């Protein structure tokens, strides 16, 4: 069996073992802690040439859990032995903590130095330092005191300290936090002139920062009034909220406390809390609205909105507790602050995630927002790093990053507005094109409808002309009514078929109607050609007239020519038709009354004794002949040859002179 020694001897010489490396690392950190401890317990030498001397935050600390110890208590041997090297921010909430430094004035004259705590939020801060006689002087301040009670009108808590020449001075600093903010100190000693220069430089940065914020906000408020772009209003609101938050939240710059409510320390601490809600909600809502994240990622944004409500509720409770000044409120405030940090982080995390998704999806505005937010994020991390590890804050880099972010957000608002304007212009162009197309379609439809109406009107007029004389139809369509008129000289024509009743009884109905339609259609053409107005048909009788409704001098000649042509048409048709018609024609001239009767089915008709006599001329005539009265014969004697028949008995009229018109155009004798 191989021994452990032999096994060890056969191991390759590749370097120290894992256990050796661990021991080395442990020794390194132990030595580093010892070095830090020595530095914390060391005597710090100062002279008139020292502009600034940073004091360690890891220093001698004594925790007073009840906050009742006095300076005499902590200097007593029984209590002094409990001082330990520690970081005061690790203390219990609400407890008082005593910090101790030993300062040595190496110059030959007393020194007046300013001790800067580097803190803006502690409710209670007390400084004790010995004078030349060894008697301790005391100055008290804190955010729970009015601004006017500060030893120096500075944004952080700064104390003037007199150090005797060539002596060691043990300085005690008592701090206590009764709010939601813990103890965070970056103590340092300053020459007064050097601190004034530093404070003026810092103030200049803040004034420039606030001025730029006001300029950005005012510009976009003005743009909102001109363009009514909600994004401009939300951007300006977020800038105002951010500036106000930096000036109030967590103590801020101190400008709000010094210039707005210097005698209201309780309200000042309440604004620390209120500003956190606005800083978390307003800028995030602005980004959500700007990028329309609630439409593209509704589920994630609903969670963000829920967290906004939780933060607002939490801040409301913190404000009530702060204003109430209840006993033990520091525990309530720090518990609410710790719990509220979770939804606060979710708001920013959810909003940032949704912006990243929108940028990945191709949103140019989202990419601009991320570009502007990145320097602020980096500067915030570096500021926290320098605060915790280096004991000094280079806040001007963070302010510069915020200004860059404002510029980027302003560009994002402009880009989004430009996109919206282009989309609106495209929509307007599309609307114009659509309206033009609709207008063209409407004009086409109107033209088609107008054409249809014209065709319908033409058909209606044509139908009306087929029913009524042209003059009567025109008057009826124009005025809506037709006036009756008396015509002193007109000629009436009647035709009838001899033996029609017997023929109709033996003829099929459709054949009879077809025969009548063919004959009467020919009569209509003859009347149109001769200028005779068809009046109506009654059974197998056909009635027409000339000289009305428009008077003419040759009305008798027109009717005689039409009658002769009708007889000739029937004779010619009988030569080729299996059924033979025997037509009688009677004509008489004289005065008549013409007009339109009926309410629904208009009918043009004539009345008077002339009509009755013309009917007697037809009934007293013979088939194939045109029978006229003596009065008509006198009117046409120059154009037609007439054969006197003598006096013929006419029903209801007695014996009347009648003439047959010869089928030629020779004048009558």
Write the pLDDT tens digit of every residue in 517-549. 888 899 999 998 999 988 888 888 999 999 888
pLDDT tier for residue 180 given thresholds of 50, 70 and 90: confident
- From residue 304, give the alpha-carbon distance in Å to each of 237, 307, 349, 504, 634: 19, 5, 9, 98, 113
Q: Which helix (H) or strand (E) holds 71?
A: helix 71-75
Tell me which of 610 and 649 has the higher pLDDT. 610
User: At residue 18, does pLDDT exceed 80?
Assistant: no
All CATH 3.30.70.1230 domain ranges in the chain, comma separated: 484-661
The yes/no answer on whether domain 199-428 falls in CATH 1.20.1070 is yes
User: What pLDDT score does 14 carry?
Assistant: 32
Q: What is the DSSP letter of 55?
A: P
| Distance (Å, whole) CA 380 – CA 401 | 9
pLDDT tier for residue 514 given thresholds of 50, 70 and 90: confident
243 in Cβ contact with 429 (< 8 Å): no
Name the β-bridge partners of 107. none
For residue 434, the tally of other CB atoms under 10 A from its CB is 11
First-last CA distance in the chain: 175
Identify the sign of the CA torsion 6, 7, 11, 15: negative
DSSP, collapsed to helix, strand or coil, labels residue 358 as helix
| Distance (Å, whole) CA 566 – CA 570 | 6
What phi and psi values does residue 70 have, to the nearest 5 degrees? -100, 175
pLDDT tier for residue 667 given thresholds of 50, 70 and 90: very low
Rounded (5°) CA angle 181-88-329: 35
Rounded (5°) CA angle 181-183-187: 130
Average pLDDT taken over every residue of the chain:
81
- Residue-wise pLDDT for 91-142, tens only, equals 666 788 999 999 988 888 888 999 999 888 888 999 999 988 889 999 999 9
Candidates 88, 112, 230, 239; CA nearest to 164 is 112
What phi and psi values does residue 140 have, to the nearest 5 degrees? -125, 140
Q: Cβ neighbours of residue 624 under 8 Å, at least 6 residues apart?
A: 567, 570, 571, 582, 583
Among 35-44, 111-120, 174-183, the range scoring the smallest mean pLDDT is: 35-44
Most confident of 192-196, 463-467, 479-483, 507-511: 192-196
- From residue 347, give the alpha-carbon distance in Å to each of 289, 341, 371, 377, 405: 15, 10, 19, 15, 19
User: At residue 575, does pLDDT exceed 70?
Assistant: yes
User: What pLDDT score does 32 carry?
Assistant: 42
Tokens of 87: 């970081």
Among 24-28, 207-211, 451-455, the range scoring the smallest mean pLDDT is: 24-28
Tokens of 408: 């980027």
All CATH 1.20.1070 domain ranges in the chain, comma separated: 199-428
- Residue-wise pLDDT for 339-357, tens only, equals 888 888 899 899 999 999 9
User: What pLDDT score does 286 carry?
Assistant: 92
> Could you check whether the bond before residue 549 is cis, i.e. omega within 30 degrees of 0?
yes
340 in Cβ contact with 314 (< 8 Å): yes
| Distance (Å, whole) CA 96 – CA 129 | 18
| Distance (Å, whole) CA 610 – CA 597 | 19
User: What pLDDT score does 115 carry?
Assistant: 93
* Tokens 């001007």 found at: 396
| Class of CATH domain 40-190 | mainly beta
Identify the sign of the CA torsion 587, 591, 597, 602: positive
- Residue-wise pLDDT for 205-219, tens only, equals 888 888 999 999 999
Tell me which of 181 and 284 has the higher pLDDT. 284
User: At residue 6, does pLDDT exceed 80?
Assistant: no
170 in Cβ contact with 130 (< 8 Å): yes
Most confident of 166-170, 271-275, 377-381, 501-505: 166-170
User: At residue 220, does pLDDT exceed 90?
Assistant: yes
Tokens of 528: 């149109």
For residue 600, the tally of other CB atoms under 10 A from its CB is 4
CATH architecture of the domain covering 484-661: 2-Layer Sandwich (3.30)
DSSP, collapsed to helix, strand or coil, labels residue 652 as coil
User: What pLDDT score does 566 carry?
Assistant: 92
Percent of the chain past pLDDT 70, that is, above it, reads 84
Q: Number of helices and strands (H, E) in the chain?
A: 19, 19
Strands 84-86 and 59-64: what pairing? antiparallel
User: At residue 329, does pLDDT exceed 60?
Assistant: yes
User: What pLDDT score does 125 carry?
Assistant: 94
pLDDT tier for residue 483 given thresholds of 50, 70 and 90: low
- Residue-wise pLDDT for 260-269, tens only, equals 888 888 888 8
User: What pLDDT score does 38 carry?
Assistant: 39
Tell me which of 646 and 3 has the higher pLDDT. 646
Segment 398-414 shows an average pLDDT of: 88
| Distance (Å, whole) CA 127 – CA 71 | 10
User: What pLDDT score does 15 carry?
Assistant: 36
pLDDT tier for residue 493 given thresholds of 50, 70 and 90: very high
User: At residue 361, does pLDDT exceed 50?
Assistant: yes
pTM: 0.60
User: What pLDDT score does 91 carry?
Assistant: 62
């Amino acid at each position: 069996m191989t021994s452990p020694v032999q096994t060890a001897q056969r191991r390759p010489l590749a370097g120290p073992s894992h256990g050796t490396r661990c021991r080395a690392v442990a020794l390194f950190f132990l030595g580093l802690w010892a070095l830090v401890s020595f530095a914390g317990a060391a005597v710090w030498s100062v002279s008139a040439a020292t502009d600034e001397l940073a004091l360690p935050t890891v220093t001698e600390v004594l925790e007073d859990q009840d906050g009742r110890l006095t300076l005499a208590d902590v200097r007593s041997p029984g209590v002094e032995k409990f001082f330990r090297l520690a970081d005061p921010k690790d203390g219990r909430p609400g407890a008082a903590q005593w910090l101790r430094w030993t300062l040595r004035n190496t110059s030959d004259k007393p020194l007046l130095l300013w001790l800067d705590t580097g803190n803006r939020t502690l409710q209670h801060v007390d400084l004790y330092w010995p004078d030349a006689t060894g008697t301790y002087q005391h100055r008290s301040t804190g955010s729970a005191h009015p601004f006017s009670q500060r030893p120096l009108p500075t944004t952080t808590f700064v104390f003037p300290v007199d150090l005797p020449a060539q002596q060691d001075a043990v300085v005690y600093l008592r701090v206590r936090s009764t709010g939601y903010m813990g103890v965070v100190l970056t103590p340092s000693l300053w020459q007064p002139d050097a601190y004034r220069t530093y404070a003026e430089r810092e103030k200049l940065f803040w004034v420039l920062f606030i001025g730029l914020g006001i300029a950005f906000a005012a510009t976009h408020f003005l743009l909102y009034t001109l363009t009514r772009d909600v994004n401009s209003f939300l951007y300006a609101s977020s800038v105002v909220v951010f500036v106000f938050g930096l000036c109030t939240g967590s103590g801020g710059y101190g400008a709000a406390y010094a210039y707005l409510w210097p005698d209201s320390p309780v309200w000042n601490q309440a604004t620390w809390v209120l500003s956190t809600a606005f800083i978390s909600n307003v800028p995030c809502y602005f980004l959500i609205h700007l990028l329309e994240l609630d439409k593209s990622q509704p589920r994630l944004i609903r969670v963000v909105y829920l967290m906004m409500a939780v933060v607002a509720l939490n801040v409301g409770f913190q404000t009530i507790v702060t204003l109430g000044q209840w006993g033990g409120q520091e525990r309530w405030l720090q518990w609410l602050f710790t719990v509220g940090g979770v939804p606060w982080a979710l708001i920013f995390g959810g909003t940032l995630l949704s912006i990243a998704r929108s940028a990945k999806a191709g949103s140019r505005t989202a990419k601009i927002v991320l570009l502007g937010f990145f320097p602020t994020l980096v500067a915030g991390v570096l500021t926290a790093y320098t605060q915790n590890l280096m004991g000094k804050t280079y806040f001007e880099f963070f302010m510069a990053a915020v200004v860059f972010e404002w510029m980027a957000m302003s560009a994002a608002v402009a880009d989004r507005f430009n996109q919206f304007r282009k989309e609106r212009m495209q929509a307007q162009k599309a609307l114009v094109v659509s309206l033009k197309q609709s207008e063209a379609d409407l004009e086409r439809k109107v033209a088609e409808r107008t054409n249809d109406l014209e065709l319908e009107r033409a058909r209606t007029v044509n139908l009306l002309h087929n029913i009524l004389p042209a003059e009567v139809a025109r008057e009826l369509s124009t005025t809506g009514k037709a006036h009756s008129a008396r015509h002193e000289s007109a000629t009436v024509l009647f035709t009838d078929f001899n033996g029609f009743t017997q023929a109709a009884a033996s003829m099929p109905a459709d054949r009879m109607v077809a025969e009548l339609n063919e004959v009467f259609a020919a009569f209509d053409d003859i009347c149109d050609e001769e200028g005779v107005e068809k009046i109506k048909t009654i059974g197998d009788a056909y009635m027409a007239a000339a000289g009305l409704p428009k008077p003419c001098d040759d009305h008798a000649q027109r009717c005689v020519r039409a009658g002769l042509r009708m007889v000739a048409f029937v004779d010619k048709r009988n030569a080729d038709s299996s059924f033979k018609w025997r037509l009688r024609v009677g004509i008489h001239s004289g005065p008549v009354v013409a007009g339109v009767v009926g309410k629904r089915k208009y009918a043009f008709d004539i009345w008077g004794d002339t009509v009755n006599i013309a009917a007697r001329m037809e009934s007293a005539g013979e088939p194939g002949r045109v029978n006229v009265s003596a009065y008509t014969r006198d009117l046409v004697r120059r154009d037609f040859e007439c054969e006197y028949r003598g006096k013929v008995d006419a029903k209801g009229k007695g014996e009347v002179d009648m003439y047959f018109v010869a089928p030629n155009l020779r004048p009558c004798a």
